[in-house]
């Protein structure tokens, strides 16, 4: 594990060094632990009969072992089934599984026009994808994306950019509540350890909001934030509600600033004020490191 992490750092450093070779210096300061998501986007256009969701499941005994060509072919290790989702309207599907041996799988089928989701339907399976049922969201709901809490898998949240709403559930998708948000929720970032906390970001207005009640109410954290923002890293940041962000020059031409502040009132906890101006879109938080780039 440690070696893997080291490899990642070196890769990032290598990239930065390559970019920086002539004019800039990098600054690294110490910071820890990444999680992975189980969300896959499937484009259904390729399927002739549309909306065929082919599911392959690894046997529990296979968890952790490396799939080789021979055991992939071995039917006792892989089971496969096909469920035809009765959806003829949509051409994309976001497949989401909360992980941790859970049996609940979501498929969000959606239609996009010019990159915007215009219509969607959410499907839920409670038997690991063998069968799916349609979820009743408010009739005008247009779900863009589905996020699940890394802490409690029964907590999920859908973004509805068109209606400026979020739809959330605390019982793994059986019942849903909707709430209005004061911004277009283009991107959410769920806290890695605090299940009630999340960040919401609007690309156009460049505003970053935080919510401490899983999406019910939101507070503006900071304006002029670039899309580079991160939650505190466990056992590294002293305050677990710390948010690392890059504040951008409003005209988007000038340099940016690195800021770390604590949600919800954005109390400044920037560890090193000497960093000063940094290159726009250069800030990356990886484990105990914050990478920035400057001239
Ligand atoms: C398939 O897996 C089972 C159980 O692990 C094993 O007994 C069997 O020999 C395997 N068959 C092949 C063809 O690899
Ligand atoms: C996060 O911080 C709060 C306040 O300091 C504390 O009560 C809570 O236990 C912390 N959570 C974790 C996961 O450490």
Q: What's the confidence (pLDDT) of residue 32?
A: 28
Report how far Cα 47 is from the mean position of its chain's Cα atoms: 27
The closest alpha carbon to 231, from 26, 38, 98, 35, belongs to 35
Q: What per-residue string of b and e applies to 139-154 under the rule 16 or more CB within 10 Å gives b?
A: eebbbbbbbbbbeebb
Q: What's the confidence (pLDDT) of residue 42?
A: 53
Q: What's the confidence (pLDDT) of residue 276?
A: 78
Measured from the Cβ of residue 101, the count of other Cβ atoms closer than 10 Å reads 9
Strand-pairing partners, residue 63, are none
CA of 237 to the centre of ligand 2 (A): 11
Token match 């300061």: residue? 29
- Among the atoms of ligand 1, which is closest to the Cα of residue 75? 1
Q: What's the confidence (pLDDT) of residue 252?
A: 64
- Among the atoms of ligand 1, which is closest to the Cα of residue 77? 2
The closest alpha carbon to 149, from 111, 95, 193, belongs to 193
Question: Do 118 and 111 contact (CB within 8 A), yes or no?
Answer: yes
Q: What's the confidence (pLDDT) of residue 193?
A: 95
Q: What's the confidence (pLDDT) of residue 289?
A: 82
The closest alpha carbon to 258, from 239, 241, 276, belongs to 276
CA of 242 to the centre of ligand 2 (A): 11
Residue nearest to atom 8 of ligand 1 (CA): 74
- Among the atoms of ligand 1, which is closest to the Cα of residue 61? 5
User: What is the token pair recorded at 283?
Assistant: 């800030």
CA of 65 to the centre of ligand 1 (A): 14
Query: Nearest bound ligand to CA 69?
Result: 1
Measured from the Cβ of residue 209, the count of other Cβ atoms closer than 10 Å reads 23
Q: What's the confidence (pLDDT) of residue 38?
A: 52
The closest alpha carbon to 283, from 74, 11, 41, 29, belongs to 29
Query: Nearest bound ligand to CA 72?
Result: 1
Give the C-alpha separation, 176 to 104, whole Å.
15
Residue nearest to atom 4 of ligand 1 (CA): 76
Give the C-alpha separation, 186 to 184, whole Å.
6
Per-residue pLDDT of the chain (295 residues; tens, 9 = 90+): 333 333 333 333 222 322 222 223 333 333 322 333 355 555 544 333 333 444 445 444 444 444 444 444 555 556 666 777 777 778 888 888 866 677 888 989 988 888 888 999 999 999 888 888 999 898 889 999 999 998 998 999 999 999 999 999 999 999 999 999 999 999 999 999 999 999 999 999 999 999 999 999 999 999 999 999 999 999 889 999 999 999 988 776 778 899 999 999 999 998 877 777 888 888 888 887 888 877 7
């Amino acid at each position: 594990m440690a070696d893997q992490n080291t490899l990642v750092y070196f890769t990032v450093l290598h990239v930065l060094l390559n970019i920086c070779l002539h004019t800039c210096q990098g600054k690294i300061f110490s910071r820890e632990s990444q999680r992975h998501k189980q969300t896959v986007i499937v484009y259904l256009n390729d399927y002739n009969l549309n909306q065929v969701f082919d599911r392959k499941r690894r046997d529990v005994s296979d968890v952790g072992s490396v799939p080789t060509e021979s055991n992939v072919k071995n039917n006792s290790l892989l089971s496969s089934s096909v469920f035809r989702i009765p959806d003829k309207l949509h051409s994309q599907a976001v497949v989401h599984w909360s992980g941790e041996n859970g049996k609940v799988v979501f498929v969000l089928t959606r239609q996009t026009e010019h990159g915007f989701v215009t219509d969607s339907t959410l499907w839920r399976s409670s038997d690991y994808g063998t069968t799916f049922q349609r979820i009743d969201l408010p009739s005008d709901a247009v779900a863009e994306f589905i996020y699940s809490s890394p802490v409690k898998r029964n907590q999920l949240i859908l973004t509805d950019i068109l209606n400026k709403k979020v739809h959330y559930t605390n019982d793994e998708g059986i019942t849903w509540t909707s709430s209005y948000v004061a911004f277009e929720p283009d991107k959410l970032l769920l806290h890695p350890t605090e299940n009630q906390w999340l960040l919401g970001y609007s690309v156009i207005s460049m505003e970053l909001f935080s919510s401490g009640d899983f999406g019910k109410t939101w507070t503006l954290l900071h304006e002029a934030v670039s899309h580079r923002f991160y939650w505190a890293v466990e056992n590294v940041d002293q305050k677990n509600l710390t948010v690392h962000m890059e504040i951008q020059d409003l005209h988007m031409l000038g340099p940016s600033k690195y800021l770390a502040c604590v949600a919800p009132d954005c109390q400044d906890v920037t560890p090193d004020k000497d960093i000063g101006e940094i290159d726009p879109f250069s800030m990356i938080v990886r484990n105990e490191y914050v990478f920035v780039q400057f001239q």
